[in-house]
Structure 1
Amino acid sequence: MLTGTFAEGPSRTRALAAWTAVGVAGGAAGNLIGGALTEYLSWRWILLVNVPVGAVGALVGARLLPGRRDGGSRSRLDVAGATLATAGIAALTFALARVESHGWSNALTVEVMTSGC
Structure 2
Amino acid sequence: MKQIDELREKIDALEKEINMHAAENENDARLMSMPGIGPICAMAILAFAPPMESFRNGRDFAAWTGLTPRQNSTGGKQSLGKTSKMGQRDIRKLLIFGATVVVRWAARN
Decide: shared fold, TM above 0.5: no
TM-score by length of 2: 0.32
More strand, by proportion: 2
Larger radius of gyration: 1
Structure number with higher helix proportion:
1
